[in-house]
A = this chain, B = another copy of it.
Amino acid sequence: MDQPSPPRPAVMIDVARLAGVSHQTVSRVLNGHPSVRDETRERVLTAVRQLNYRPNALARGLAGRRSRVLGVVSFDTILYGPAATLLGVERAARAAGYGVSIVTLEQLDHDGVSDALSALAEQSVAGVVIIAPFTNTAAALRSLPMGIPAVVVEAGASGGLPAISVDQIAGAELAVRHLLEQGHETVWHVRGPQNWLEARDRESAWRSTLEAAGRSVPPVIDGDWSAASGYQAGLRLAGDPRVTAVFCANDQQALGLLRAFHERGVRVPDNVSVVGFDDIPEAEFMSPPLTTIRQDFDEVGRRCLAMLLDLLDSPVETPVYPRVTPVLVSRASTGIRQSANANS
């Protein structure tokens, strides 16, 4: 009788019939194959619109080799860094006509990464972006017998896998130099969790920058990215008169540190200057507003995708992309150190 809007969505053969061509011609038009007459192409496209036809990605993936879907393996998508990177990748992927499937890791060991990758392989994703900047991710990846093209975010020397990274070394240098230039004798450091590569890079750059400037290197304080750990570090540092400048491995830790200082009557930046890392949206509104290192995660996402697409085209050579350079955002939590230089 009537089917004003067919309950079953149109498929390629329907379009072909309506346009009076074969299904293969429709396929050619959709994939931009050159040898199709303009008049035919028009006819097909009209039919496509008329039926509101959308090609079935599953069938596409099955028949062809590529699946227009990328996988993303992430860790804690509530953390600012991973979340921002994920968003960047997703945007870039969508712009390039790819869908994005995500898997968040529960455990960080070899099996965790392996399971995640298997799950994605099952969906036959065309490629994978791994946002899991752990020291042991590299090892896990190396031993993976997978044929899927993959790029890694922030994984340092990750077993030969192509990687995109923000230049953590440069960032930490910016932070330490900024503090030294303001007249501080040295800079203390609240580092991030040791199984994160970024944390290690920041710590070692902090150390080497101090050494290069001929300053003493104070003992490092442990942290785990959380504001709570920064708070603990703050309580520990608050009593120490030698502490005039602190570089926190991320902004949340800096927040906790500021809180502890505030409680203990340590004034920032009058008594102690503080620098964070990331430039989370809240940094500008902390008490006082936090000087920090900004990373362009959107750019990271874009480059990741560009790299992955390069890799899909020519799987032989691994493209090399430059590191993304972070910048210093100077706010009220750091100030010129008045005379009274350190102890004496």
Q: Which residues of A pack against B, CB within 8 Å?
A: 5, 7, 9, 54-59, 61-62, 67, 69, 76-78, 80, 83-84, 86-87, 90-91, 94, 99-104, 106, 118-124, 145, 147, 226-228, 230-231, 252, 255-256, 258-259, 262, 281-282, 284-287, 289
- 8 Å CB contact of A59 from B62, B77, B120, B287: B62
Least distance between A37 CB and chain B CB atoms (Å): 27
Q: Apart from A230-B285, A282-B282, list 9 A-B contacts with CB within 8 A.
A: A58-B62, A58-B123, A76-B87, A94-B119, A99-B120, A100-B101, A227-B281, A258-B287, A287-B287
In the complex the two chains form, is A281's CB within 8 Å of B226's CB? yes
Residues of B within 8 A of A62 (CB): 56, 58-59, 62
- Cβ of A30 to closest chain B Cβ, rounded Å: 12
Q: How far is the CA of A284 from the CA of B262 in the complex (A)?
A: 14
B102 near A100 with CB under 8 A, answer: yes
Chain B residues lying within 8 Å of A67, measured Cβ to Cβ, are 58
Q: Are A256 and B285 in contact (CB under 8 A)?
A: yes
Residues of B within 8 Å of A231, CB to CB, are: 285
The copy count of this chain in the complex is 2
Cα-based distance from A53 to B80 in the complex (angstroms): 37
**B69, A91: Cβ atoms closer than 8 Å:** no
How far is the CB of A229 from the nearest CB of chain B, in Å?
Answer: 10
A289–B127 CA distance with the chains assembled, in angstroms: 44
CA A230 to CA B284, docked complex, whole Å? 12
CA distance A344 to B54 in the complex (A): 68
Task: Closest B residue to A82 by CB, please name it.
Answer: B83
State whether A101 touches B104 (Cβ < 8 A).
no
Q: Would you call B69 and A78 a contact (CB within 8 A)?
A: no
Q: Determine if A99 and B119 form an interchain contact, defined as CB atoms under 8 angstroms apart.
A: yes
**B83 lies within 8 A of A123 (CB):** no
User: Which residues of B sit under 8 angstroms from A59, Cβ to Cβ?
Assistant: 62
Contact of A121 among B5, B54, B123, B258 (CB under 8 A): B54
A123 touches B69 (CB 8 A): yes
Shortest Cβ distance from residue A66 to the other chain B in the assembled complex, whole angstroms: 11
The answer to whether B123 and A57 touch across the interface, beta carbons within 8 angstroms, is yes
Within 8 Å CB of A83, what residues of B?
A: 77-78, 83
**Chain B residue contacts of A284, Cβ below 8 A:** 227-228
Contact, CB under 8 Å: A124 / B57: yes
Provide the bound-state CA to CA distance between A77 and B120, in Å: 21
Given contacts A69-B101, A281-B252, A285-B228, contact A55 B258 (CB under 8 A): no
